[in-house]
Amino acid sequence: MASALETKAKEAYFDDHFELALDLYSQAIGINPKKAELYADRAQANIKLNNLPDAVADANKAIELDPSMSKAYLRKATACMKLEEYQTAKAALETGAALAPEESRFSKLIKECEERIAEENGELPKETLDVVPTNVVPVKDVSSVKDVPDPMTVAAPTKSTYRHEFYQKPEEVVVTIFAKGIPPECVKVDYGEQILSVAVNAPGKDAYHFQPRLFGKIIPDKCRYDVLSTKIEIRLAKAEPIHWTSLEFSMEVAVPQRINVSSVAANQRPSYPSSKPKRVDWDKIEAQVKKEEKDEKLDGDAALNKFFRDIYQDADEDARRAMQKSFVESNGTVLSTNWKEVGVKKVEGSPPDGMELKKWEY
């Protein structure tokens, strides 16, 4: 079955039906998830569709399953170069060249990466920069090379039960993925120059894949992650101390540049340190926090607890006493705000239909 799907996928790819090829490769991977060749082929289809983070992920998976597959490193480098991650691409090309020294494309692309890296560092003259080719690999060559596997499987179309958020410091970005009870061995995190790839495959839980192209560049060797009881915490070391306006890259948002102090105009009036403390508007901060709490959308027990908390917060003294007395005396089964009714008698428990209230024995 998997081989038949693979054959159909190859035919679709050679007929330039890349979306169909991608779907067929994904079906084949679902049947045979341990075959590196399938991930390599799907990586190539993703490159054609410009799904570059997915292509990198498929290439990584192929390399994981078969580290000797030279074409997998070529596919990874192709996607990374399109993402302008030339350091990562160069490292993949050097490994691939060692596995297949007769393949001339590795040396050509390594040279191009070196030129691009020098260009980024301002080491090339303008004349040289103008002739650097913008393409990564000729279309003819790409189609002849085997696809490179990515570490990701097909993402489920259903809504993920995981969620993530991030905050930042001048030197790092901390990404938190909320996931309870995930064994550390079920979590795989990979880093590129500007790519984060997270895969969670825990028994009995939905598979989770998160592969954003990051807002700014990072230093992969200095990044790390921890799997805790309720979350996965990932620390990304910034390559430059700039402020990220979002976690993911967007063409609509320009990456801010570092300020060069030497470029400040000489006639600009300097500012001097002051012993006068900076005034903080705590009332404004408190109002903002309350507004965020009020606007927070919760569900389940969290929503119910917030509902009761809001009632208690807005209630007068008698209503609060009634809520406390009725809740305690009924063992948490009754909540009343009528002090005139509750204050004159003991509140009996009222269990839900079909349940029986029993006294706790010490």
Alpha carbon distance 161, 145 (integer Å): 37
Asked which of 174-188, 277-291, 326-340 is least confident by mean pLDDT, the reply is 277-291
Q: What are phi and psi of 214, to 5 degrees?
A: -75, 160
In order, the DSSP letters of 29-46 are: HHH-TT-HHHHHHHHHHH
Cβ distance 9 to 40 under 8 Å? no
Q: Which of 157, 3, 144 is nearest to 75 (CA)?
A: 144
Q: Which two tokens stand for residue 225?
A: 């992650």
Per-residue pLDDT, 224 = 93
Render pLDDT for 83-128 as a digit per residue (tens, 0 to 9): 888 888 899 999 999 998 888 889 899 999 998 888 877 765 444 4
- pLDDT at residue 196 above 60? yes
- The angle formed by the CA atoms of residues 341, 342 and 344, to the nearest 5 degrees, is 80
Helix or strand holding residue 285 (H, E): helix 282-295
Query: DSSP secondary-structure letter at 220?
Result: G
- Tell whether the model's pLDDT for residue 305 goes beyond 80: no
Average pLDDT over residues 126-141: 45
Q: Which CATH class is domain 1-121?
A: mainly alpha
Tell me how long the chain is: 362
Neighbours of 228 (CB within 10 A): 12
- Give the pLDDT of residue 345: 84
Burial annotation 4-16 (CB, 10 A radius, 16+ → b, else e): ebbebbeebbeee
pLDDT on residue 254: 55
Selected residue with higher pLDDT from 180 and 109 = 109
- What's the pLDDT score for residue 76? 92
CA triple 10-11-17, angle to 5 deg: 95
pLDDT confidence tier of residue 136, bands split at 50, 70 and 90 = very low
210 vs 160 pLDDT, higher one? 210
Check pLDDT > 70 for residue 141.
Answer: no
Average pLDDT on 285-297 reads 72
Most confident of 153-167, 189-203, 308-322: 189-203
- Would you state the pLDDT for residue 160? 56
In whole angstroms, how far apart are CA 77 and each of 118, 121, 197, 322? 17, 20, 16, 68
Tell which wins on pLDDT, 200 or 354.
200
Fold of 170-237: Immunoglobulin-like (2.60.40)
The pLDDT score that the predictor gives to residue 326 is: 82
Q: Compute the mean pLDDT over every residue in the chain, rounded to the nearest whole number.
A: 78
Short-list 72, 34, 35, CA closest to 55: 72
- Cβ proximity of 199 and 162 under 8 Å: no
Q: Lowest-pLDDT range, 54-63, 306-315, 350-359?
A: 350-359
Q: What is the pLDDT of residue 153?
A: 42
Which string of b and e fits 316-341 if b means at least 16 CB within 10 Å? eeebbebbebbbebbbebbeebebee
What are residue 86's phi and psi, to 5 degrees?
-75, -30
Helix (H) or strand (E) holding 210: strand 208-210
pLDDT at 59: 92
For residue 235, give the 3-state DSSP assignment. strand
pLDDT at 238 over 90: yes
| Report field, pTM of the whole predicted structure over 0.75 | no
Q: Look at 51 and 160; give whichever has higher pLDDT.
A: 51
pLDDT at 201 over 70: yes
Residue 155: per-residue pLDDT: 43
The pLDDT, as a whole number, for residue 293 is 67
Which contiguous run of DSSP H or E holds residue 52?
helix 52-65
- Cβ-contact 45, 22 below 8 angstroms: yes
Q: Which of 199-203, 250-254, 272-276 reaches the highest mean pLDDT?
A: 199-203
Reference 26, options 193, 266, 177, 207; nearest CA is 207
Average pLDDT over residues 298-313: 72
Locate tokens 């309720």: which residue? 230
pLDDT given for residue 187 in this prediction: 92
Domains 1-121 and 170-237 share a fold: no
Q: Which residues pair with 248 in a beta bridge?
A: 214
CA dihedral 38, 40, 45, 47 (to 10 degrees): 160
Q: Where are the domains of the chain?
A: 1-121, 170-237, 301-343
